[in-house]
Amino acid sequence: MVRLLLWVVLIGAAVYFFKRMGKRSAPDRKTEPPEIAAEPMVRCAHCGVHLPRDRALSLESNVGKQWYCSQTHMEQGPGSRDR
Ligand SMILES: [Zn+2]
């Protein structure tokens, strides 16, 4: 009977320590957004290739903002192959 009580105390202490350690090793860093979400992808209006927005060239037009993958495609304008 004494042994059983000892086991109960031991398991209880182990569970208590695991809970404390679990809380300590899990800070609020998980709430940070992933790296990919901070870099939105845009589509080249000429060739349709996707690239990070900070690498793309933007052009304001009457239909809105358009993105291009390169200076050449920006000069050539939106592609004719519409889907
Ligand atoms: Zn392009």
Express each pLDDT in 12-69 by its tens digit.
Answer: 999 998 898 887 665 666 666 555 556 799 999 999 999 999 999 999 988 889 999 9
Sign, CA torsion 9/11/17/23: negative
Residue numbers of the domain that contains 66: 41-76
Inside any domain, residue 13? no
Surrounding residues of ion ligand 1, Cβ less than 5 A: 44, 46-47, 69, 73
| Residue 60 within a domain | yes
User: Residue 79 C-alpha to ligand 1 middle, in angstroms?
Assistant: 9
- For 56-71, write each residue's pLDDT tens digit: 999 998 888 999 999 9
Instruction: Examine the pLDDT at 10 and tell me if it is beyond 80.
Output: yes
In the chain, the number of structural domains is 1
5: tokens are: 């009580």
